[in-house]
Each structure stands twice: as C-alpha cells, then as structure tokens.
Amino acid sequence: MGVTIGAFGKFSDGREVNLYTMENKNGMRVSVANIGAALVRVEVPDRQGRLADVVLGFDRAEDYLVNGCFFGVVIGPNANRIGKAAFTLDGATYSLAVNDGINNLHSDRNLGWHKRFWEASVGEESVTFRLEDRPGSMGFPGAKTAEVTYSLNDRNELQLNYHASSDQRTILNLTNHSYFNLEGHDSGSIEGHELWLGAACYTPADAGSIPTGEIARVKGTPMDFTARKRVGAEIDAEFEQLQFAGGYDHNWVIDNWDGTLRHFATVRAPMSGRVMEAYTTLPGVQFYAGNFIEQETGKGEAVYRYRGGMCLETQYFPDSANKPAFPSCFFGGERVYDSVTVYRFSAE
C-alpha cells in the first residue's frame, strides 16, 4: 500500500517533523516520526476485525520533546542503565550523566537519541531513519552513525532493523521503548494481559536496578513466565526484586541466544483477542510493566496512568559495560552493530 507522509509538528530548532504511515493489505497501519525515530501508532484488528491503536504516545512532535516516559522512541547510544554512570574501555574511564539515582539511564534524558531529529528516507514498504552523532557526545567515545528501518509486511509483521557504527570502540546498545496495550492504547491497565517469555533466567538487580552480575533461574519465583500467565498475577508479590522496582522492570535472558532471530515473547489481550509475538536477534529483553507512568495526556486526549502499557525492550543486558561476563555491548571499528526485532500481530 506504500507510505504516506503527513505533517506532525516542529522540532525544537523549527525543522518540520513528518509522520510516515505504512499500511498493508489487511488494513494494519504503522506510523513513525523523525523525532526520536518514534513509533507513534500501531493500528491492528481485534477478533472482530476492529482496528485499535495499541501503542502509547502523542499526537504532536512537540510532546515527544518532553516525553518523560520515553513513549515509542529509539534509545541510544545506550539503552537502559549503567552503574555509577561510568565505564572503562581500553584503559580509559568515561563519565556519563548521573540521571537515575547514582546511575545513568538511557544515555542522557535531554541529549539522547530519543530526543534527536533523525533524517528519513522512504522505501516502498519501509521508512529508514538516520542519525550522526559527534565524537564524545554525552560522554561516549567515538563519532557514531545509526540507522533504524521500520518495515511492515502483509503477515502483520512490524520489523525493526538497527545498524550502527563508530570510528572507535564505544557502547552501542539500541532499543525501541514502545509501550504496548493490546486492548487499545487508551484502555487502562495491562495487568490482565497474558505473557509468555522464552527465558528461563533473568538478571537480578539491586535497589537501583543495576544487575548484580548473577544470572538466576526464574523457576519457583514470580519472575517465571515460561508458562503463560497474567501480568498482574504476581506483580505485587512479596518478592524483593519486585519490591525494588515497584513491579516488573527487569532484564530477562533469552533462551539459547546465538544471534539468530528467536521467538522470545507472546502477549495476549483476553478481551480483544489481539496477540503479539515478538522476535529478536539480541540476548536480552527488558520487560517493564509501566510501574512509573504518572498521569499523562496522550493521543486523542487519552489519560495514561500507572501500568497502562508494557514494554518489551530488546537489548544487551543493563550495565553490560561493567559486567565482563555479560554479552559485550562494545562495538566500533571492525565490529558493527546490527540487530533485528520483529513484532507480529494477530487475533484469536
């Protein structure tokens, strides 16, 4: 069906931000924008064929320049947390913004790639966003270039292809921070959603959400989603990891990771019948249940609240830069960053 382009507002420097909409033969529509390479809308049918937008977000580019919850945006150069906001690479220590207690979260709240203008190029069924970042930006070494391509096919698969490089060794760990609510973005809590995760282990974290370095089995704990269960079934259990994070906000270790595309999650919305299967080439996924969403006005004047959306942020593990036993997030020179994440939608 091709890609249509519409106005979406202005960037902070006055540049026009566009909304690029892809549609397939089934009527599924996906809209993305230059600001933060944001995934703005994902409209998919329920079991009755009725379309609803299933991602939280905003109707104007200007709101994405605030966006304290990181709705829909691409995070980079490093997603998630780095302990004590510093890391050492090749004998040099690099200091980052201290913006999450004593730690660093999502690179920089104001300068990170989620608030940058990405140049767009349009294909027949895809949109590619490109960004260049200067050496030393936000404290990370290297001049970096990144591309994110969104594509939609007639199997109702939304595919995200990431590619990034640097002229010197640095951290490259990109993710998309979309919040999904398969009943509709404006339908309230996701605690009734059912989740399966292909992950027998996770990385326990301290009270600041920095992994301890342990890779622990989920069996016998509320972290176990190896059999499908409601998100809300054990989210408030008296379990230290959940109490630290106010619910689920942890990294799961994807089973049998080898860099190939693997099915790691299935989400079901019982009322609408919508199903989302998720696949990635990456070793981890941050399942975040929206524990820190404060009342916020989103698309169509919808009011988003606590646990109103859930994230499945594919990634290298949090604090990998300081955990040599974790899969390495150091790239640059000969080692180019490439990853694929796919969200496939259906109804039952």
Q: Which residues are catalytic?
A: 177, 313
CA atoms within 13 A on the CB side of 344: 11
Is the CA virtual torsion 137, 139, 141, 146 positive or negative? negative
Distance separating alpha carbons of residues 185 and 13, to the nearest angstrom: 30
Q: Which helix (H) or strand (E) holds 95?
A: strand 92-95
> Do residues 250 and 315 touch, judged by C-beta distance below 8 A?
no
Phi–psi pair at 119, nearest 5 degrees: -70, 140
Other CB atoms within 10 Å distance of the CB of residue 157: 16
In angstroms, the Cα distances linking 175 to 31, 156, 161, 183, 216 are 17, 21, 10, 23, 23
**Position 340, amino acid:** V
Cis peptide, bond prior to residue 77, ω within 30 of zero: yes
**Position 18, amino acid:** N
Tokens of 227: 């059999």
List the one residue out of 299, 258, 259, 261 whose CA is nearest residue 277: 261
In angstroms, the Cα distances linking 273 to 153, 225, 230, 348 are 21, 19, 14, 5
Tokens of 178: 């979309």
Distance separating alpha carbons of residues 75 and 25, to the nearest angstrom: 30
CB-based contacts of 136: which residues, under 8 Å, 6+ apart? none
